[in-house]
Amino acid sequence: MNNFTEFNPSLESYFRSIILFGRNVASYKFAMAKSLLELNQHQKDTFISLEDVSVSFAHHVCEHLKISDRQATSSSSKFLDVCRNYNAGNVSHEQLIDATRRLGFVNVLDAFHNVNNEKLPVSFFEVQKHGNTKGIVLTDDMYNILQSVQMENFSLEVEARWRLVETAWGLNIAPSLLNVKHDAIKEQFFIQETDRNRRIDITSSRDALNGYQKGKCFYCFRDISIQSGDLNLADVDHFIPHILGTEFEEDLNGVWNLVLACHSCNRGSNGKFARIPSLEYLERLHRRNEFFIESHHPLRETLLNQTGVSTDSRIKYLQLMYNLSISLTGGFRWKPTIEFAASF
């Protein structure tokens, strides 16, 4: 865990740490996380065979292979080959499930709860055997996750993280050349392939940003949602107001400047609108960006490219942008009327 950005780890934080900081050598961790989130119809302490888990697990892997054929850092995989053959119509569903049961969980069951080479102090499932049948039992921690107010966001966050990782693998270019851009109108992260002049839409910016803010407003820590149509749907806010873009040489649509905010903070009666947040929130933005960099995916490389490769250079960059924005707006600073307990 990254203690610099985590005050009081919650179950939600531990679950997110698996998605954000777990080792990425294959996409099975994401498929397992999505499968766990779909097992809430099972009773507590019920044994769930790997064959039953395989139905959801295989479905997600096969669907992502349709998006990107690169689902692992290894050049070969018997399991992924079966999934590819299933997508091509050369393998039956029964054969797919059997192969998933035998091959799909070889490493993910043991490695799922490992973050930064350490085992988490909580677990979301336990591996058991009933006779010759191997399976899992969901723990109380997992059932608490399934009942969490953040439950509706987790599946979207896992999907966003998966898309970012597979895009990085699929492009197979030097990390230093990778630059994830933001479409402010579509609220979508994308990558522009310069050699083919092709745009690759990756994921909703809300979905990708939410995990790092732990489902809270950047400014007041109120609960937010990334579910379309939800009353608490978060706004994608420019920390330094987008309206100042004409005065800056830098792109204010950069990942470094994007946060999720609740309606009240962004455009309520005492909302931020085009005002500049108080200095304490610049420090929070820096911590958030460092959180991105620790997560080792395309957003990390984009932040390094946009703000600097060293911590000192990133601090200087943010300070420069902040000072310029203050000078352009008369020196006024904004902060929310109410701020709840800090969660990142």
Do 234 and 277 have their domain in common? Answer: yes
pLDDT at position 1: 37
27 within a domain of the structure (yes/no) = yes
Last residue of a domain, one of 120, 146, 172: 146
Give the C-alpha separation, 186 to 290, whole Å.
Answer: 26
CA atoms within 13 A on the CB side of 139: 13
Domain of 215, in residue numbers = 153-334
Higher pLDDT, 4 or 188: 188
CA atoms within 13 A on the CB side of 64: 29
Do 114 and 202 have their domain in common? Answer: no
pLDDT at position 115: 83
Model confidence band, residue 168 (pLDDT cutoffs 50, 70, 90): confident
Threshold 0.95, pTM exceeds:
no
15 within a domain of the structure (yes/no) = yes
pLDDT at position 176: 65
340 within a domain of the structure (yes/no) = no
Do the Cβ atoms of 237 and 272 come closer than 8 Å?
Answer: yes
**Residues 78-104, mean pLDDT to the nearest whole number:** 98
Structural domain tally of the chain? 2
Percent of the residues in the chain that have a pLDDT greater than 90, as a whole number: 64
344 within a domain of the structure (yes/no) = no
Q: Which of 83-97, 207-221, 294-308 is most confident?
A: 83-97
pLDDT at position 7: 42
- Contacts of 108 by beta carbon, 8 Å cutoff, 6+ apart: 28, 29, 31, 32
| Structure confidence by residue, pLDDT tens digits, 270-327 | 999 999 999 999 999 999 999 889 877 678 889 999 999 999 999 999 999 999 999 8
pLDDT at position 66: 97
Percent of the residues in the chain that have a pLDDT greater than 70, as a whole number: 92
**Residues 102-125, mean pLDDT to the nearest whole number:** 90
Model confidence band, residue 19 (pLDDT cutoffs 50, 70, 90): confident
The dihedral sign for the CA sequence 225, 227, 230, 233: positive
32 within a domain of the structure (yes/no) = yes
**Residues 126-140, mean pLDDT to the nearest whole number:** 95
| Structure confidence by residue, pLDDT tens digits, 31-84 | 999 999 998 777 677 899 999 999 999 999 999 999 999 999 888 899 999 999
